[in-house]
């Protein structure tokens, strides 16, 4: 497994195991398979788990990770979790962040997090449901800074979704996050993450800004919530964003077939090849899917000609 620079946290594996898949967010799985998948990821050289209390019923991703880590020694494994904040609920962000951190640590069985992420849309004006405004963001950022000074977290970051102007401001100003989770996939689909209507994602600008400002990039939604795979593995209504994107992605699947590769492998190789991306989060829910992603990483970066062909395909899809 290739190791890449990850700022203040040192080196990180090119792949990160995500908590959504092992918690059943991307199709059915069970605790035993989730634990086995975590163990297989560690054996393959993956050095970070990306969890969240919102992944799965009853905080399943954190509970599955806690069970898996009780049966294996992994002192160097990095753990990420998240906290969600909204302006339309309790305003005391500092208290909410601390409560969330304490609860996550208890479920995982650790005394600190390596990376704690603000898992909330950032807006530039409001109000907007499920989002946080500029003042709220600065309040949250100050709390993360204090937690880092106290040793309860080693670094903090943001899920870089929401209005691109709000995200870019967060990446450029201080206090500056240590890392940002950014949607990175060949067709620039939002991966079933809600964006502000009528506003284009500007992924390339966000990745570039993060890199220029020393913010480590964590690529997420490499297969766009399943839309860039051979088939959707969960039942969705035709009007669901991921189902719509799956239909739109047919030219991508045809191109993958022409190149003799699986769509999911091609999508992951693309994300791993994007300049500035430190690690790519996997949404796998079992060992079979993990094996496919490990093969994508082992295949190495895509040639420049193939990256260019995918960029061209993005503009016509």
Query: Dihedral (C-alpha) 282, 284, 289, 290: value to the nearest 10 degrees?
Result: 50
User: d(Cα 253, Cα 234) in Å, to the nearest integer?
Assistant: 18
User: d(Cα 64, Cα 115) in Å, to the nearest integer?
Assistant: 18
Beta strand segments in 22-155, E = 48-50, 78-83, 115-118, 121-122, 131-132
Question: What is the dotted CATH code of the domain comprising 3-316?
Answer: 3.20.20.100
Handedness of CA 241, 203, 47, 41 (dihedral sign): positive
User: d(Cα 310, Cα 106) in Å, to the nearest integer?
Assistant: 43
Could you read off the pLDDT of 134-173 as tens digits, one per residue? 888 999 999 999 999 999 999 999 999 888 999 999 999 9
The CB-side HSE value for 302 (13 A sphere, CA atoms) comes to 24
Could you read off the pLDDT of 5-25 as tens digits, one per residue? 999 999 999 999 999 999 999
Stretches in the chain below the pLDDT threshold 70: 87-90, 127, 194-195
- Residue 303: DSSP 8-state: P
Angstrom distances, CA of residue 26 to CA of 39, 92, 183, 237, 248: 19, 32, 16, 15, 19
Could you read off the pLDDT of 58-71 as tens digits, one per residue? 999 999 999 999 98
């Amino acid at each position: 497994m290739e190791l890449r620079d990850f700022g203040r946290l040192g080196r990180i594996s090119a792949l990160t195991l995500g908590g959504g898949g092992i918690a059943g967010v991307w199709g059915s799985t069970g605790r035993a398979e989730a634990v086995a998948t975590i163990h297989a990821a560690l054996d393959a050289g993956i050095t970070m788990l990306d969890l969240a209390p919102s992944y799965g019923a009853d905080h399943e991703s954190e509970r599955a990770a806690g069970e898996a880590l009780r049966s294996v020694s992994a002192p160097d494994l990095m753990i990420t979790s998240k906290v969600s904040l909204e302006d339309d609920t309790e305003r005391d962000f500092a208290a909410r962040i601390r409560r969330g951190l304490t609860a996550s640590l208890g479920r995982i069985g650790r005394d600190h997090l390596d990376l704690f992420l603000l898992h909330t849309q950032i807006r530039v004006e409001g109000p907007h449901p499920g989002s946080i405004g500029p003042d709220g963001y600065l309040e949250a950022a100050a709390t993360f800074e204090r937690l880092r000074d106290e040793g309860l977290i080693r670094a903090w970051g943001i899920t870089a979704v929401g209005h691109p102007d709000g995200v870019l401001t967060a990446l450029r100003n201080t206090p500056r996050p240590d890392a940002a989770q950014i949607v990175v996939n060949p067709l620039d689909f939002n991966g079933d993450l809600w964006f502000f209507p009528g506003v284009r994602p500007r992924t390339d600008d966000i990745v570039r800004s993060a890199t220029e400002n020393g913010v480590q990039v964590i690529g997420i939604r490499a297969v766009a919530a399943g839309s860039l795979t051979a088939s959707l593995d969960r039942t969705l209504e035709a009007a669901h964003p991921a189902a719509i994107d799956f239909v739109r992605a047919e030219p991508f699947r045809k191109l993958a077939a022409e190149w003799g590769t699986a769509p999911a492998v091609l999508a992951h190789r693309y994300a791993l090849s994007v300049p500035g991306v430190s690690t790519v989060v996997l949404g796998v829910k079992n060992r079979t899917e993990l094996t496919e992603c490990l093969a994508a990483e082992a295949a190495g970066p895509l040639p420049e000609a193939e990256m260019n062909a995918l960029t061209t395909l993005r503009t016509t899809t």
